[in-house]
Amino acid sequence: MAHALRQRLELPVFGLYANYLNSVALSASFRDGSRHDFRASVETGGYSGPAQLYASPSIRMARGPERVPGFDFMMIKNGLSSPVVVDTDGHMRWTGAVLPDSFSSLFSDGMFYIGSQTERVLHRMDVSGAFTSVPVGVSRYTNFHHDLAPGKTGILAEFDAIEGGVARVESTLAAIDTNGAVLKEWDLGRIFSEHMRARGDDPAGFVREGADWFHMNSAIYNAADNSLLVSSRENFVVKLDYDSGAIRWLFGDPLKHWYVNFPSLRALALKLVEGKAPIGQHSLSVTPDGQLLLFNNGLGSLTQPPWAPRGATLTYSTPSRYAIDEKAGTAREVWTYEHEPDHSRTRLYSDICSSVYEGTPGTYLVAYSVALSRTEARLLGVDSNGKVAFDFAYPTTVCDTVFIAQPLGWNDLRLR
């Protein structure tokens, strides 16, 4: 007599709506070619937890059928909890196990990776919220800061460090694997010091030991030419050769200390031929057509020597997209968006943190982290013509609610 073999299989179901009767469809394919489809209803209660404020945004403009944002989900890196996922209707759809923050975080291959802001520990979290933690394998690193991004291999991570008893503040970049092993390192202090000395400049007035002279807040790998693009909030965007660390170009405000006082750096500067230069910028990315996209905060330098020029400070912030001609040494701002709140002629100003990322071509997710004098975070979907698809607002204390927001592709997700 044949007996059917029955096994109990538990699958995580995530992304459900809170306080809702959710319909879940599952299709199972078996090795013998058979298939089984079934549906279940999952009733959920209202969400309460460390990320509760994301469940009730102030919707300034709701997504409508005629307004297509170009993406459906957004991952919010924040200072309150694990990463949070919301959809473009404003519904909170996911958050994970309790962590104090997720400033330095990344979603890759079905996993969330979160770097600790207080120690050299990398957390690895699956969509069920369960996580494991591993130490980063270089003892002079003290903590992660700012962002994580996909690297040529592994993950690009920004670290604070102590070397020879001297603090290396926000100027160390490393590629690490998901087990915490360090694969490659770039010491921006060493890179700039060697470049400047070789060309007759004294780097002591620029690379200042123990000071936040660089303030790295974004670093990405560009496979198109095997390079790194790194944002120094205090100075410029710098392009480095991935293998050698050689500086290829600098792009920033020419009214700042680096340009005015150091010929060896000024010689590498791209010339802006149209638009506005990056000032206090965040969240670098490269668009599919090879252009540079960033959030242009507009706040001048904060930690330069007292006698050094700090550059311009604007009264508004924008996403900015640049076409760069490396042979000509030029940059052109080819797209920007200047948002004007309702009933006001004052454009939004978000002087620190913040982000912009492209969804489908010509659609953007813009995060104003610290609008209204650092009391309100705003998430907007806009297109290349400035048409707004949605506009959500959340209360914030400095950058805690929204440090960075990125479109999140959950289609064809493969779980381990």
Reported as a single tens digit per residue, the pLDDT across 222-244 is 999 999 999 999 999 999 999 99
pLDDT in tens, 324-361: 999 999 999 999 999 876 555 678 999 999 999 999 99
CA 407 to chain centre: 10
Non-local CB neighbours of 245 within 8 Å, separated by 6+ positions: 186, 191
Q: What does the pLDDT read at residue 8?
A: 76
Average pLDDT of 21-35?
90
Is residue 413 within 8 Å of residue 15, measured between CB atoms? no
Helix then strand then coil, % of the chain, to nearest 5: 5, 45, 50
Q: Count of residues for the chain? A: 416
Count of beta carbons in the 10 Å neighbourhood of residue 377: 31
What value does the mean pLDDT of the chain take? 94
Report the C-alpha gap between 351 and 299 in whole angstroms.
Answer: 5
Instruction: Give the N- to C-terminal CA distance of the chain in Å, as an integer.
Output: 36
Cα 165 to Cα 142, 143, 168, 384: the distances in Å are: 12, 16, 9, 49
Q: 388: buried, middle or exposed (CB in 10 Å: 19+, 13-18, 0-12)?
A: middle
CA 87 to chain centre: 18
Q: What does the pLDDT read at residue 344?
A: 58
Report the C-alpha gap between 163 and 209 in whole angstroms.
Answer: 10
Report the C-alpha gap between 59 and 140 in whole angstroms.
Answer: 45
Q: What does the pLDDT read at residue 343?
A: 55
What are the structural domains of the chain?
21-407 (2.120.10.30)
pTM equals: 0.94
